[in-house]
Amino acid sequence: MRWRLRVDPTACTGHGLCADLFPERVELDEWGFPVIHGDVPAGLTGHARRAVRACPALALRLGDVEQVLFGSLVEQTRKCGKINCRCAGGDGHGPYAYFAPSGVRGMRYVPATLVVPARECLGQGERIEGVLAEISAINLELLARRALP
């Protein structure tokens, strides 16, 4: 999984704490604002998380949210229809993977080399949906509390 550290330039106030805590990927420009260099390697995600938690302006984000898919991955075998082919005996060709997006009809073929990354993106989508469901439940509870006299 590829992690990326991002800074919100509208929220950043230039404290520079991120560069102190994560100098491997963050340096400060001439005005004291962070410049992020490259993705965060797996071995340094702890340092990046510490910098995100310590940011007094809450301007840092760590994640791979651009690597998200919502839907499902379907694997199918196919028969070619040739009488003398091995698939005529029962076992089809494949498996072939297809991505079925949520809320959209149809499926798209996923090459074998992209099946593992597609599964990772789908897993990220499931985690995000779970977090959104928790946020929604909290908001519903807050709404219910406000409605009570």
Q: What is the pLDDT of residues 69-123, one digit of tens each?
A: 999 999 999 998 898 898 888 788 989 999 999 988 999 999 999 999 899 889 9
Q: Name the band, by pLDDT with cuts 50, 70 and 90, for residue 43.
A: confident
CATH number of 4-63: 3.30.70.20
Kindly tell me if the per-residue pLDDT of 3 is higher than 60: yes
Kindly tell me if the per-residue pLDDT of 140 is higher than 60: yes
Residue ranges per structural domain of the chain: 4-63, 71-145
pTM: 0.54
Calpha distance 7→58 (Å, rounded): 9
Q: What is the pLDDT of residue 14?
A: 94
Beta strands, E only, the chain: 4-7, 26-28, 34-36, 60-63, 71-78, 93-101, 108-110
